[in-house]
């Protein structure tokens, strides 16, 4: 398959880097002000080196990418709320050209699911987005395999940064601010960690799950969201004295979407530590399935993106 990649950050660059090992070719890649385009296939090493050294991927016009030669558009621009642009416009434009779209960007799928599905119906292209929930963990693919009507509820730890902070606070009896600074030093938390610690990122993933389970109709405004900022170290200590701990849990149950810190058994399935994610699928006929693993990271997310691309081949 020929890939056009929108976004040359951690995810876009990793997709470019790994594409050839999956047997695919990159014909275009764009960042916020530059592009590299070659219908016969780019030298991805050279493009990524250029991005690292000069900040630009190439000299081509970013606006020409969507009109170019490709089978699949990989959408890896920043997740935005509300109109979910530029990701939404990129997605719809590629569909209008009858191309497939694989998204890592959560915005369009969380905020404008129904519109995307409508565009998809009018197109020969398909839209896949396994990378948007749980990074490398094949959550949406598993739901697809089970059949969404057989999944009665989903619950999980869907943000590695928040989980890292809570695990460290519990293990070291440290306060939120202290652990956040440490997480930032380690590169686990971003300079602006708002999306992660306020629960927005986990909520977007839950909204995507709800859209998949109930065939659309949900946006971030339908989720009830509480983050972890207000949790004092003493709360984790009191929980630990009783064999419990606190995790930021996202739930889609009875068509309600909720993300909030919850008390869970310290040795329970949901009490994953560090940046791990876990998703529990409650099924109609097969009890509970637990899938865990790395929920973020360039290569991890690219692995999910490339899995989707293989499904389109």
Partner 1 sequence: MSERMVPRAHTVRLELDDEPGKLLNALDPIAEHGGNLLSIFHERGNRTPRGQIPVEVDVEATPERFDRIVSTLRETGVNVVQAGAERYSEELTVLLVGRLIETDLSDTLTQFEHCSSASVADVSLTVADETDEVSSARIRLAAHAGETDRALAAIHEVAAEKDLTVISPLTRGDSG
Ligand X SMILES: NC(=O)c1ccc[n+]([C@@H]2O[C@H](COP(=O)([O-])OP(=O)(O)OC[C@H]3O[C@@H](n4cnc5c(N)ncnc54)[C@H](OP(=O)(O)O)[C@@H]3O)[C@@H](O)[C@H]2O)c1
Q: Are 27 and 68 in contact, with CB atoms under 8 Å apart?
A: yes
Q: Tell me which residues touch partner 1 (CB under 8 A).
A: 153, 155, 226, 230-232, 234-235, 237-239, 241-242, 244, 246, 249, 253-254, 260-265, 268-270, 280, 282, 288
Q: Which is the catalytic residue, given 99, 100, 168, 205?
A: 205
Determine, following the binding rule CB under 6 A, whether residue 76 of this chain makes contact with ligand X. yes
| Residue 238 touches which member of ligand X, partner 1, none, C-beta under 5-8 Å by kind | partner 1
Q: CB neighbours (10 Å) of residue 214?
A: 12
Least distance from C-beta 238 to ligand X, angstroms?
33
Does 8 show up as a binding residue in the annotation?
A: yes
SS3 220: helix
Q: Of 72, 19, 22, which Cα lies nearest the Cα of 44?
A: 19
Q: Which of residues 49-68 bind ligand X (CB under 6 A)?
A: 62
Stretch that binds ligand X, among 165-173, 226-234, 281-289, 296-304 (CB under 6 A): 296-304
Q: Which of residues 124-163 bind ligand X (CB under 6 A)?
A: 131-132, 135
| Residue 253 touches which member of ligand X, partner 1, none, C-beta under 5-8 Å by kind | partner 1
The question of whether 2 is a catalytic residue gets the answer no
51 or 244: whose CB is closer to ligand X? 51
Does 10 show up as a binding residue in the annotation?
A: yes
Residue appearing with tokens 């693993």: 293
Kind and range of the H or E run holding 151: strand 151-157
For the chain, what is the total number of helices (H) and then of strands (E)? 12, 12
Determine, following the binding rule CB under 6 A, whether residue 8 of this chain makes contact with ligand X. yes
Determine, following the binding rule CB under 6 A, whether residue 11 of this chain makes contact with ligand X. yes
Does 295 show up as a binding residue in the annotation?
A: no
| Long-range Cβ contacts of 117-120 (<8 Å, 24+ apart) | 117/216, 119/91, 119/92, 119/95, 120/95
| Residue 79 touches which member of partner 1, ligand X, none, C-beta under 5-8 Å by kind | ligand X
| Residue 23 touches which member of partner 1, ligand X, none, C-beta under 5-8 Å by kind | none
Stretch that binds ligand X, among 73-81, 167-175, 239-247, 256-264 (CB under 6 A): 73-81
182 exposure class (CB count in 10 Å sphere: 0-12, 13-18, 19+): middle
Strands 127-128 and 100-103 turn out to be parallel
Least distance from C-beta 147 to ligand X, angstroms?
25
Kind and range of the H or E run holding 161: helix 160-172
Q: For 257-280, give one letter per residue: b (16+ CB within 10 A) or e.
A: bbbbbbebeeeeebbbeebbbbbb
Number of residues interacting with ligand X: please give it, by CB under 6 A: 26
Does 107 show up as a binding residue in the annotation?
A: no
SS3 158: coil
| Residue 262 touches which member of ligand X, partner 1, none, C-beta under 5-8 Å by kind | partner 1
SS3 64: helix
Known binding positions: 7-12, 106, 190
Which residues contact ligand X by CB under 6 A?
A: 6-12, 30-33, 62, 76-79, 86, 104-106, 131-132, 135, 296-297, 301
């Amino acid at each position: 398959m020929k890939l056009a990649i929108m976004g040359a950050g951690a995810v876009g660059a990793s997709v470019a880097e790994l594409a050839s090992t999956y047997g695919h070719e990159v014909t275009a890649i764009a960042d916020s002000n530059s592009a590299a385009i070659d219908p016969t296939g780019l030298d991805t090493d050279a493009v990524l080196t250029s991005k690292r050294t000069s900040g630009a991927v190439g000299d081509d016009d970013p606006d020409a990418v969507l009109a170019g030669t490709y089978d699949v558009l990989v959408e890896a621009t920043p997740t935005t709320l509300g109109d979910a642009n530029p990701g939404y416009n990129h997605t719809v434009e590629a569909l209008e050209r009858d191309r497939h779209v694989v998204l890592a960007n959560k915005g369009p799928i969380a905020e404008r699911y129904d519109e995307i599905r409508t565009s998809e119906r009018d197109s020969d292209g398909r839209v896949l987005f396994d990378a948007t929930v749980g990074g490398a963990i094949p959550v949406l693919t598993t739901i697809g395999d089970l059949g969404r009507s057989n999944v009665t509820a989903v619950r999980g730890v869907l943000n590695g940064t928040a989980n890292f902070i809570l695990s460290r606070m519990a293990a070291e009896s440290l306060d939120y601010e202290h652990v956040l600074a440490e997480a930032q030093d380690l590169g686990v938390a971003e300079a602006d960690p708002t999306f992660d610690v306020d629960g927005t990122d986990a909520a977007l993933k839950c909204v995507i799950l709800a859209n998949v389970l109930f065939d659309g109709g949900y946006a971030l405004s339908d989720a009830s969201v509480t983050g972890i900022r207000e949790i004092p170290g003493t709360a984790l200590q009191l929980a630990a004295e009783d064999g419990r701990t606190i995790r930021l849990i996202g739930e889609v149950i009875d068509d309600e979407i909720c993300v909030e810190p919850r008390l869970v058994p310290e040795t329970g399935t949901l009490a994953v530590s560090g940046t791990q994610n876990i998703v529990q699928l409650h099924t109609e006929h097969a009890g509970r399935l637990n899938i865990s693993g790395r929920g973020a990271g360039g290569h991890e997310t690219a692995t999910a993106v490339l899995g989707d691309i293989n499904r389109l081949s």
